[in-house]
Amino acid sequence: MTPGEVLVQGERIVEAGASVKHPSGAEIIDLGDRTLLPGLIDAHVHLFLHPGAEDLQTVEESVPQRTILAVLAARDDLMAGYTAERDMGTEGAGSADTAVRDAIDNGSFPGPRLRISGNAIDILGGHEDAIKYNPAQHVLSNATYANNKDELVTAIRQQLKEGADFIKIYETGPDKVRNGQFSTIYQYSEAELSAAVQEAARSGKRVAVHATGEPGTLFAAQAGVASIDHANQLSDETMRLMREKQIFAVPTFTIFEYFGDHAAMPAQAERERTMLELHAKEFHKQIAAGVPMAVGSDVGPFPHGTQAREFALMVKYGMSPLAVLQADLINGAKLLGWEGQIGSLEPGYLADVIAVSGDPLQDIGALQNVSFVMKGGVIYKK
């Protein structure tokens, strides 16, 4: 609507509409012809990663050093308009993201509202294990080992003890493209994932999986996870289950584009671009099948604060700007467990408000230039 006004009292929105009350003594912020929006949501970030060799930074940088960098990354994301995020694993820094979340919550540092998972969970020799290094050096995995149901339950209980809001599990990898065909191996059976989902649910928590293709994505959907992140390739049955159970796909196109543009070798660049093309083709099928979408960028390996590129890519590959905004704000709030609290400018919602020049319904790229940021009624960028 035009014009648009929002009345904020404390950390909450009191009124929103074309015109609201102007109480005596209220501070008036006139942002001109900018568009007001709820704060953006990134459902897949890595605060403990930065551009550069992922394996090396997790080996060479201490956990205290990485925690300081994570605090700076959170600030950069907030200044880019992201007022809520889901941190999908510290990549070997254990439960250090608990400290980052808590420091933001108590006002010690600026950053988004966070849902954190601590260390992700992986099998021995799995996606995040240090399989490229000399075994004699005993380089640690970037995730927590769990090789069966019992070990999954133990790992989940430990992570919840250390403050995790949800559980992140690596379900597939490594990925391959051969003769134009995508393939990946699964890490956990449907029964094992179901045990993990049930254990998390016992404490009111949910499970998110890194899963790129079949049959791992099917096992995840059958188990009833909250989201399937990356979701490069989904079978018809997987898509049906995701639609019926309202399991969100989080495509993370930006990371594939970035890896393609910044590959060390031409062959690697070609592989990443082929992967992105296949992903985009499958994305059309997923949209047509009614798979619910949320927006996550996998930021970390590329610079924090630049992840609004994900919106543009989701539009490029088949969604309307309105549908992408709904995926981010409405579905993102549901996925992070803040439905009815964030993702909309309505009375009673938290006052997470951003402003951009232009109309993102006409040009989604407007979200890449955020000029005003408020979180919980506090202005961080003006």
- Please give the Cα distance from 34 to 316 (Å, whole number): 24
Cis peptide bond upstream of 174, omega within 30 = yes
Q: What is the predicted pLDDT for the residue at 135? A: 85
Is pLDDT of 160 > 90?
A: yes
Question: How confident is the model over 335-347, as a mean pLDDT?
Answer: 98
Question: How confident is the model over 306-316, as a mean pLDDT?
Answer: 98
- Lowest-confidence segment of 70-74, 124-128, 208-212 by average pLDDT: 124-128
Phi, psi of 128 (to 5 degrees): -105, 10
Report the candidate in 197, 228, 273 with the shortest Cα–Cα distance to residue 44. Answer: 228
What is the dotted CATH code of the domain comprising 41-344? 3.20.20.140
- Please give the Cα distance from 198 to 166 (Å, whole number): 12
Mean pLDDT of the chain: 96
Task: Please report, for the chain, the start and end positions of each structural domain, with discontinuous segments joined by +.
Answer: 41-344
Query: 16 by DSSP, 3-state: which?
Result: strand
- Lowest-confidence segment of 70-84, 109-123, 137-151, 246-260 by average pLDDT: 137-151
pLDDT digits over 5-28, tens only? 999 999 999 999 999 999 999 999
pTM of the model: 0.97
Q: What is the predicted pLDDT for the residue at 1? A: 92
Question: How confident is the model over 35-51, as a mean pLDDT?
Answer: 97
Question: How confident is the model over 327-331, as a mean pLDDT?
Answer: 98
Q: Please say whether the beta carbons of 275 and 232 come within 8 A.
A: yes
In degrees, rounded to 5, the angle at the alpha carbon of residue 230 between the alpha carbons of residues 264 and 326 is 125
pLDDT digits over 224-246, tens only? 999 999 999 999 999 999 999 99
Q: Please say whether the beta carbons of 87 and 117 come within 8 A.
A: yes
Q: What is the predicted pLDDT for the residue at 179? A: 84
Q: What is the predicted pLDDT for the residue at 134? A: 83
pLDDT digits over 273-298, tens only? 999 999 999 999 999 999 999 999 99
Q: What is the predicted pLDDT for the residue at 257? A: 96
